Amino acid sequence: MGVLTELTWVILHLACTAIDMMLVLILVRVVARRWQLTWVHTINEAARGIVDRFLALLRSCWNRLMTSSLSEQGTLVLSMAVLSLARFLICVMAGYLLQ
């Protein structure tokens, strides 16, 4: 394999890792809404900035496309679905690169 292929593979792997980390942080937000656990609350507070920015971006895109607005829980579910789809597409792209 060439250097460019390896570099592309590393970038796709890092993108998948970033998506996985964001999925975990959003899952922590969902758990924090349901149960009052100290360690979950601490992680939620530490990640509030990045998760809130991502959810605001997703909510504004949804409001531009649709007439109805999303609740906070609906935004969390939609964000997990969008991130899972993005990760799946990156894995498919990586599969085609290895062939």
**Whole-prediction pTM:** 0.80
Summarize pLDDT for 15-47 with one digit per residue, the tens.
999 999 999 999 888 888 888 888 888 888 888
Half-sphere exposure of 76 (CA within 13 A, CB side): 14
Please tell me the distance from the alpha carbon of residue 33 to that of residue 23, in angstroms, as a whole number.
15
The structural domain count of the chain equals 1
Summarize pLDDT for 44-95 with one digit per residue, the tens.
888 888 999 999 999 998 888 988 888 888 888 899 999 999 999 988 887 7
Residue 24: domain span: 3-98
How many residues does the structure list for the chain?
A: 99
Spatial contact of 42 and 25, defined as CB atoms under 8 Å apart: no
Please tell me the distance from the alpha carbon of residue 74 to that of residue 55, in angstroms, as a whole number.
10
SS3 at position 99 = coil
